[in-house]
Amino acid sequence: MLILTRKKGQSIIINDDIEIIITAIDGDQVKIGINAPADVLVYRKEVIESIRDSNRAAIVSQANLDMLKKMMKK
């Protein structure tokens, strides 16, 4: 993991086309801006984790539904 120190108004560049800008610092909160190409998806980590959990639950539900359908055919 790379750890950088930045001040308000400073930024970092990732892969020549993604810029992370520190827009504000307020106590223990840091606000950042992200400039990235339209085809680059940017999500908060907790949102991605929630989506993954929902997808896993849906897979289990589908498997249970398939098993129930097989039981009903017998």
32/52 same-domain check: no
| pTM given for the model | 0.66
| Structural domain boundaries enclosing 5 | 1-37
Q: Tell me which residues of the chain have a pLDDT lower than 70.
A: 62-65, 68, 74
pLDDT in tens, 22-31: 999 999 999 9
16/47 same-domain check: no
pLDDT attached to residue 72: 73
25/52 same-domain check: no
Three-state secondary structure readout of 9-44: CCEEEECCCEEEEEEEEECCEEEEEEECCCCCCCCC
30/53 same-domain check: no
30/52 same-domain check: no
32/56 same-domain check: no
